[in-house]
Amino acid sequence: MVALQQMLVLFIIMMVGCIAYKVNLITDETSKKLSGIVVNISNPALILSSVIGNDTVTGNELVTTMGISIAMYAFLIVIAMIIPFAIRAPKESAGTYRVMTIFSNVGFMGFPIISSMYGNNALLHASLFLLPYNILIYTYGIQELTKNNKNSDDGSRKINWAQIFNIGVIFCIIAIITFAFKIKFPAWVNTTISMLSSLTAPLSMMVIGASLATMNFKKMFTNVRMWAFTFIKMIIIPIVGTLLVRLVTDNPTIIGVTMVMLSVPVGSMTAMLAQEYDGDYVLSSEMVAMTTLLSVLTFPFITTLIELIKF
């Protein structure tokens, strides 16, 4: 019930963003600037807020979370190899499907959901998922997107460390160091961080809503292959992945954070990278929109089902 209420709140804010775009209160340029605020200001503040007054998370729990995050991405890479064959994806779109399988919207949706459902303390666990995410998306992700197109450089593209160690990853590292050395900030700094972090959920949902306003939903919802991918991505993978995590830990926060990371929609970064590196940009954009809309239903379903399944 909590998950349903939370997703309804996020959905309403998305619709506010969609309507604002339709009536020209939000333009493409405005949306881009709001995204910049989320990525470079409010989301880093949200990550840093996870260590303010956090006396409940232990070092052993973080080690467990780090191990689970690495295992989760290894699991997703294996599944991603199978999915294009399972849904009979065209060869030129296979890499895009693999990337969409692995990289979800952990920043714009995952972090706000985790913060609202499990509290800011859980964000310290969530930040550990961001480290392998960024390393993989700018290496494996780009390789997959360029593998089958004419502009592929056969793996000779150099790793861009500035992209991997972006501001989100830097603040994850700062948060971990702050936690490890028990660094305390003055009250006014804590208040500033808290106020900035509170911008993340509404701004990110409005940006997503604005992007939905440009989509052809009739085309999306009549595509059988997209429905098949959505079912695997949004139902099968979260259920199987979360149940596997429950085999190695009984910590409800770690289980919950992992479940959110597996359940959120296709990440908008997949569309951005597909556009930049000649992947299937139209497909990735449509899948971001479709999975985002359907997550309002699939996420509450997943959380309810996981609670009902007992070992």
The string over 60-72, giving b where at least 16 C-beta atoms fall within 10 Å of a residue's C-beta and e elsewhere, is ebbebbbebbebb
Q: Phi/psi at 53 (nearest 5 deg)?
A: 65, 20
Q: Are 50 and 171 in contact (CB under 8 A)?
A: no
Q: Are 283 and 247 in contact (CB under 8 A)?
A: no
pLDDT at 22: 94
In a domain, 81, yes or no: yes
pLDDT at 279: 80
Length of the chain: 311
What's the rounded Cα separation, in Å, for the pair 120 and 126? Answer: 10
What's the rounded Cα separation, in Å, for the pair 63 and 180? Answer: 12
Tokens 């919207």 belong to residue: 105
pLDDT at 229: 97
In a domain, 172, yes or no: yes
| Total tally of structural domains belonging to the chain | 1
In a domain, 21, yes or no: no
Q: Which two tokens stand for residue 206?
A: 């409005």
Q: Which two tokens stand for residue 12?
A: 């309403």
pLDDT at 310: 67
Q: Phi/psi at 247 (nearest 5 deg)?
A: -75, -20
pLDDT at 1: 61
In a domain, 223, yes or no: yes
Q: Which two tokens stand for residue 85?
A: 């064959």
Which residues constitute the domain of residue 162? 41-198+219-308
What's the rounded Cα separation, in Å, for the pair 214 and 221? Answer: 15
pLDDT at 21: 94
How would you class 182 by CB atoms within 10 Å of its CB: exposed for 0-12, middle for 13-18, buried for 19 or more? exposed
| pLDDT tens digit at each of 311 positions of the chain | 677 888 888 889 989 999 999 999 999 899 889 888 988 898 889 888 888 876 677 788 889 999 999 999 999 999 999 999 999 999 889 999 999 999 999 877 888 899 888 888 888 898 889 888 988 888 888 888 887 665 555 545 566 777 777 888 888 889 888 888 888 889 999 999 999 988 988 988 898 888 888 888 888 888 999 999 999 999 999 999 999 999 999 999 999 999 999 999 998 888 878 877 778 888 988 898 899 999 999 999 999 999 888 65
pLDDT at 46: 85
In a domain, 229, yes or no: yes
Q: Are 232 and 86 in contact (CB under 8 A)?
A: yes
Q: pTM of this prediction?
A: 0.86
pLDDT at 130: 84
> The domain spanning residue 239 has which CATH number?
1.20.1530
Q: Which two tokens stand for residue 51?
A: 């260590």
In a domain, 53, yes or no: yes
3-state SS, one letter per residue, for 121-151:
CHHHHHHHHHHHHHHHHHHHHHHHHHCCCCC
**Residues pairing with 104 in the sheet:** 266
First to last CA, the chain: 22
- Measured from the Cβ of residue 160, the count of other Cβ atoms closer than 10 Å reads 12
How would you class 253 by CB atoms within 10 Å of its CB: exposed for 0-12, middle for 13-18, buried for 19 or more? buried
What's the rounded Cα separation, in Å, for the pair 234 and 216? Answer: 21
pLDDT at 257: 94
In a domain, 87, yes or no: yes
> What DSSP string describes 18-43?
HHHHHTTSS-HHHHHHHHHHIIIIIH
Q: Are 97 and 83 in contact (CB under 8 A)?
A: yes
In a domain, 212, yes or no: no
